[in-house]
Amino acid sequence: MFYFVRILFTIILFTPFFSFSQTETSVVNPPQEVKKANAWFDKMHIRGYTQVRYNRLLETNENLGCEQCDKSWGKGGGFFIRRMRLVFYGQLNDRISYYFQPDLASSAASDKLHFAQIRDAYFDIGIDRKNEFRFRIGQSKVPFGFENMQSSQNRLPLDRNDALNSAIANERDLGVFFYWAPQSKRKIFSSLVKDGFKGSGDYGVFAFGAYNGQTANNPELNDEPHLVSRFSYPFAVKNQIVELGVQAYTGKFVIPKSNLSTGVKYLKDLNYKDQRVAASFVLYPKPFGILAEYNVGEGPEYNKLTDSIETQTLHGGYATLSYMTHYKNQILIPFVRYTNYSGGKKFEKDARSYDVEDLEIGVEWQANKYLEFVAQYTISKRRYEDYSLKNNEQKGNLLRLQAQINF
C-alpha cells in the first residue's frame, strides 16, 4: 500500500512537467496561420532634407535682394534655414498612392521666418494595371518647365531661375493633372533621380491639367481655372541621356488687393491674361551636363510710365553647364548658370516689373549620401520696380554657402 501511494504521488507531482513537455512538442509543428494583410500605414515611408544658408560673404551691395528666391539676401540677412522638408508617402493599393510634404521653415517675409506650410498634398490614381495612365489630385507641382519640376534637394544652383519660376510661385497649385508615360520611360525618370543625375522626377511623357492659377496655398479668385500641358521625352544617345520638352499654360490671374499699393492703377476686375509657352533641353551630366530653358508669354506687369498694372509681354531663359566627377565615395559637380529675364512677377507687389541678368558660378560637394555643401558666387544686375519703388536698379556680387542634410 505504501509503495502504491508513493507511485501515485510521484505521478501527480510530475504531471505538470509532462504536460508542459507535450505542449512544447506541439509547438514545434504549429498549425498553419492565415497571414494578415499589412495596413496602409505599415507601408508608409518618410524622408526629408534641411538646407541652412549664409549669403553675406564678399557682399558688395546690401540693397540687392531677391524676394522670390531667398529672403536672406541683402541687408538684415544672416544664417538662414531655407528649407526644412518632411515627406510622407506610400501606396494604399496597387493603383492608389499618396504624397504629403510640409515645409517647417517657410518664410512669409524677411522678418517672418519658420512657418509651417503645406507644399504637396496629393494622391495618384492609376487607370491601368501598370499605372502608365494616372490622375493626380490635390496640391502639387504644375507641369511647366524642367527646373520647376526638379526638387530643390537635387538642383545645383541655390535658387530656381527667375525666367520660368516667375510663372508659378513655389511651383505648385491646387488642381487635377493627368500624366501618361510608358513603363520604360517611367523607369528612366526614376533612375535619373535615384542614380544622382539631377533628374526632375516622374511627371510623365505627356501631362495635361487644370488648376486654380493663384499659386499654392491661395484661394481661387475668379472661378476660371488655368489649363496646362507638357510633353517631355528622354532618350539615350550612346552613353548619355537627352530630354527634350515643350510646355504651355493659359488662364487669367487675379491680383490680390493686398498686393496693391495705394495709388496704383489697375483693371476693375483685377483679372489679367496669364499665358506662357516654354522649351526645355537637358543633357544629363554623364559627366558633362547642359540644362537650358526659354519661355515667352504675356502677364500682368507694373508700368512706371502710367503708374498702372498692364498686360505686357515677357521673355527670358537660362542655361546651366555642369561636370560631374567622382572621387572614392564623394561627388564633386562644378557648375555655371546664366539667367536673363524681362517681365513682371504677378505674385509680387503691384506685379513688380523686372529686368534680370545673373551669372552664378558654383560647386556642389556631396561628402556622402547624407551631407552636401554648395558654394556659389553670384554676379547680379536687377531692375525691379513697383509703384513705391521706381527707378530701382541694383548691381552686386556675393558669395553664397549652403549645407544640406538628407535623411
Write the CATH number for 215: 2.40.160.10
Q: Is the pLDDT of residue 46 over 60?
A: yes
Residue 395 has pLDDT above 90, yes or no: yes
pTM of the predicted protein model: 0.88
- Whether the pLDDT of residue 38 is over 90: the answer is no
What pLDDT, on a 0 to 100 scale, did the predictor assign at position 305?
Answer: 96
Q: Answer whether residue 5 shows pLDDT above 50.
A: no
Report yes or no on 16 lying in a domain: no
Contact 323, 288 (CB under 8 A): yes
For 173-201, b/e burial (b = at least 16 CB within 10 A) is: bbbebbbbbeeebbebbeebbeebbbbbe
Above 90 in pLDDT, residue 158? yes
Number of domains in the chain: 1
pLDDT band at 11 (very low <50, low <70, confident <90, very high): very low
Pairing of strands 226-237, 353-366: unpaired
Q: Would you say residue 28 lies in a domain?
A: no
Domain limits at 94? 39-406
Strands (E), 151-270: 172-180, 206-211, 226-237, 240-254
Does a structural domain hold residue 8? Answer: no
- Report how far residue 136's alpha carbon sits from residue 149's, in angstroms, rounded to the nearest whole number: 15
Amino acid at 220: E
Segment 88-98 shows an average pLDDT of 96
- Domain assignment present for residue 167? The answer is yes
Q: Is 326 exposed, middle or buried (0-12, 13-18, 19+ CB in 10 A)?
A: exposed
Question: What is the pLDDT, as a whole number, of residue 406?
Answer: 97
Is residue 371 within 8 A of residue 335, CB to CB? The reply is no
How many C-beta neighbours within 10 Å does residue 209 have?
A: 23
Band the pLDDT of 76: cuts 50, 70, 90.
Answer: confident
Average pLDDT, the chain: 91
Asked whether residue 34 is domain-assigned, the answer is no
Q: Give the tens place of pLDDT for each residue, 223-280.
A: 999 999 999 999 999 999 999 999 999 999 999 999 999 999 999 999 999 999 999 9
Q: Which triple of cell numbers denotes residue 237? A: 544617345
pLDDT at 37: 62
Is it the case that residue 369 has pLDDT exceeding 90?
yes
- 162 within a domain of the structure (yes/no): yes
- Residue 26 has what pLDDT? 37
Residue 151 domain flag? yes
Average pLDDT of the residues in 37-60:
90
Helix (H) or strand (E) holding 13: helix 2-28
CA dist 126 and 386 (Å) reads: 46
Give the pLDDT band (50/70/90) at residue 110: low
Residues 351 and 300: beta-carbon distance below 8 Å: yes
Is position 15 within any domain?
no
- Please say if the pLDDT value at position 124 is more than 60: yes
pLDDT, tens only, 176-225: 999 999 999 999 999 999 999 999 999 999 999 999 999 999 999 999 99
pLDDT at residue 98 in the model: 97
Residue 42 pLDDT level (bands cut at 50, 70, 90): confident
Helix (H, G, I), strand (E, B) or coil at 400: strand
At 43, is the pLDDT very low, low, confident or very high (cuts 50, 70, 90)? confident
